[in-house]
Structure 1
Amino acid sequence: MKALVYAEPSKVEVRDVPEPKPLDQAAKIRMRYCGVCGTDIAIVGGKHPRATPPLTIGHEFVGTIEEMNGGTLGFKPGDRVVAYPLLSCGVCRPCRTGTPHVCETLRLIGIDRNGGMADYAWVGEDALFKVDDSLSDRIAALIEPLAVAVRSLHQARFQLQDSAVITGAGPIGILTAIVLKRSGASRIVISDVDDARLAVCRDLGFETVNVKDASLVDYVAETTHGEGMDVVFECSGVDSAAADMTKIARVGGMICMTGIHKAPRAVDLRDLNFKEQILVGSRVYTKREFGQAVRYAPQISDDLEKVVTQVVPLTQSEGIFEMINDPAVTTLKVLVDCAA
């Protein structure tokens, strides 16, 4: 079968590889689409500490069951499914106390074992969720990152009519904004340095600030009469956003760390004290939240469609990361068409 394989740092190859061996209590899935995640970019850049070549990448996928090997949960050939890709140990303290999504040795399909940018994969049936018939395959491929946004709103304790700032207009930032809009946010501001991405945000109805040209801190201060915003979602992972986030959150405001920072950052902890702000982390999602994203996606599919900017056939996907890293090409969410 065909697969997009991480061969070595900065190199992926479309290879003919053996079909995966059947797993017990599992489904053989014929892949349809698989999204490219920022984690995949880090893997191919040689910056992920666990991903070891050769590796079939991809954890944001949708496909159709072709075969079942055992199973008691009612799945059958022909079902369209997405998969909860987290692999928890089951024995560490987080796993024992009901938070296996932050397992001390958390692993993922597509990082620690072969993933979805391929013709086929075997996935345990306990990880599978059926996709609603009303949802297209393209949008179903966004369920995994949508679950990240769902988790962030829960961690931020978002309430109806809260105002929100999102730093970073990547896929997670925009998906977070979409969920906020559909959940009753009174105001949504997104910052970034990419004009094309910010144009997508404006098309979705959000206020935007290009921080290359203007100060987000000043914009929030001017438009809130110095009071600040209720919730800040830091989705960029950059140092300037870490420096600004306590300045743009109001007294008693919430700051949710959705993006993963790869290095220590300077944060003004005085603001946390003097303004009694709350700073909370958010990591992936629980299985329950993944299921919520599966059920929620059909309700917001029109907005989700605007997040997909490119679809690349699997057989022509060797240059996909060069395209994503090309500043002349506007990309938001790129999908691999595993059937082409």
Structure 2
Amino acid sequence: MKALVYTGPKEVEVRDIPEQTPKDGSIKLKMKYCGVCGSDIAISLGKHPRAKAPLVLGHEFLGEVVEDGKKFKKGDRVVAYPLLSCGHCLPCRTGNPHVCNTLRLIGIDVDGGICQYGYIDEDVLFKVPDDVSDKAAAVIEPLAVIVRAIHQSNFKSLDVAAVIGAGPIGMIAGMMLKHMGASKVFISDIDEKRLEKAMEFGMIPVNAKTESMEKVAKTATDGEGVDVLFECSGAEIAAMEMTSITRVGGTICMVSVPKTPLNVNLRDINFKEQHIVGTRVYTKEEFRQAVEYSAQIKEDLEKIVSHILPLKDSAKVFDMIADLNYGTVKVLIDCTDI
């Protein structure tokens, strides 16, 4: 079968590989779409600390069940909770396997879903609602990331929110915040095309090249600042500014994972009694909730998909994402087009 394989730093190629060997409890899927994530970009550059070549990429996949299993029937469309936990460490023993001390993921530590077929444990699969399109379903995994982030932030309806970074994760964060009742959602980026897209979802765009998020947000909140801020960029300047954008007693949720330690204004954290919280992935229950939410915001999830590449051309995907002229937001690989 065909698969997109990471073969070494800055080297990916579409290869013919053998089909996976089924394991007890697994079911065969025909892969339909797979989203491309920031972690896939890191792997392709050789910068992911765990991913080892050769590796089939992709953890944001939608598949169609090929044959009846114990829980699913042939033809069911399913998405996979891709986390692999040890079950023995302290986080696992205390109900937090999503932050297992040795957490692994499909598509990072074992072969992933940018391929024609795969065998996946039935216990981690969720059936996609019938009225959710294939394109929207392929965005459920990053949606789960935001479900978790919003839970971590203790966001409340009518809160004023800010999102720094209008990439796929930031865009989905803004969409969900609007859906859950935010009174205003400000979103900043330096990419004008992404900011135009954010406006379509009802967000208030801030071009970080020409505007100050702090000034815009405080002008709109009588000088107080936003109730909750989601840092989705990983940029050094964002780490320095996020405390000034957020009000006294407000919450900052770190959704991005900076590659190096960044400077943060800890004095603001003290003097404004702010809360800063991290978020990494999602629980299995939050993944299930994301599947349900997908039916409620299906039109927006479809719109966030800016480009679809056929599997046969998927080795070009990372160059395309890096080229700002393409204006990519969320890119999917069509695993049926070989």
Answer whether TM exceeds 0.5 for this pair.
Answer: yes
CA shift for structure 1 position 205: 1.1
Match of 1:24 in 2: 24
Pairing 1:137–2:134 present: yes
CA shift for structure 1 position 305: 1.4
Encode CA deviations 1:199-227: one digit per residue, 9 max, x unaligned. 00011111011111111122222222210
Encode CA deviations 1:129-184: one digit per residue, 9 max, x unaligned. 01111111111000000000100110000111011000000111010111110100
The AA in structure 1 aligned to 2:285 is R
Match of 1:36 in 2: 36
The AA in structure 2 aligned to 1:50 is R
Match of 2:10 in 1: 10
Distance, in Å, in 2 between the alignment partners of 1:11 and 1:328 is: 22
Encode CA deviations 1:246-298: one digit per residue, 9 max, x unaligned. 00110000100011111101100111111110000011100000000001101
Distance, in Å, in 1 between the alignment partners of 2:108 and 2:256 is: 18
Quote the RMSD (CA, aligned, Å). Answer: 0.9
2:223 partner SS:
coil
Distance, in Å, in 2 between the alignment partners of 1:178 and 1:257 is: 17
Distance, in Å, in 2 between the alignment partners of 1:77 and 1:96 is: 35
Distance, in Å, in 1 between the alignment partners of 2:317 and 2:24 is: 33
Q: Is the 8 A contact 2:136 2:299 kept in 1?
A: no
Pairing 1:262–2:259 present: yes
Distance, in Å, in 1 between the alignment partners of 2:115 and 2:11 is: 17
Match of 2:297 in 1: 300
Structure 2 length-normalised TM:
0.98
Aligned counterpart for 2:228 among listed residues 228, 231, 240: 231
Distance, in Å, in 1 between the alignment partners of 2:156 and 2:52 is: 42
Match of 1:65 in 2: 65
**5 Å matches for 1:306-325?**
306-325=303-322
Distance, in Å, in 1 between the alignment partners of 2:135 and 2:315 is: 20
Distance, in Å, in 1 between the alignment partners of 2:34 and 2:284 is: 19
Match of 1:219 in 2: 216
Structure 1 length-normalised TM:
0.98
Match of 1:84 in 2: 81
Distance, in Å, in 2 between the alignment partners of 1:131 and 1:219 is: 39
1:335 partner SS:
strand
**5 Å matches for 1:90-239?**
90-239=87-236
The AA in structure 2 aligned to 1:163 is V
Distance, in Å, in 1 between the alignment partners of 2:273 and 2:313 is: 52
Match of 1:46 in 2: 46
Q: Which consecutive segments of 4 or more residues in structure 1 shift more than 3 A?
A: none
Distance, in Å, in 1 between the alignment partners of 2:301 and 2:133 is: 11
Distance, in Å, in 2 between the alignment partners of 1:119 and 1:266 is: 44
2:150 partner SS:
helix
Distance, in Å, in 2 between the alignment partners of 1:67 and 1:304 is: 28
- 5+ long unaligned stretches in structure 2: none
CA shift for structure 1 position 327: 2.1
Question: Kindly, what percent of the aligned residue pairs are identical?
Answer: 57
1:67 partner SS:
coil
CA shift for structure 1 position 18: 0.3
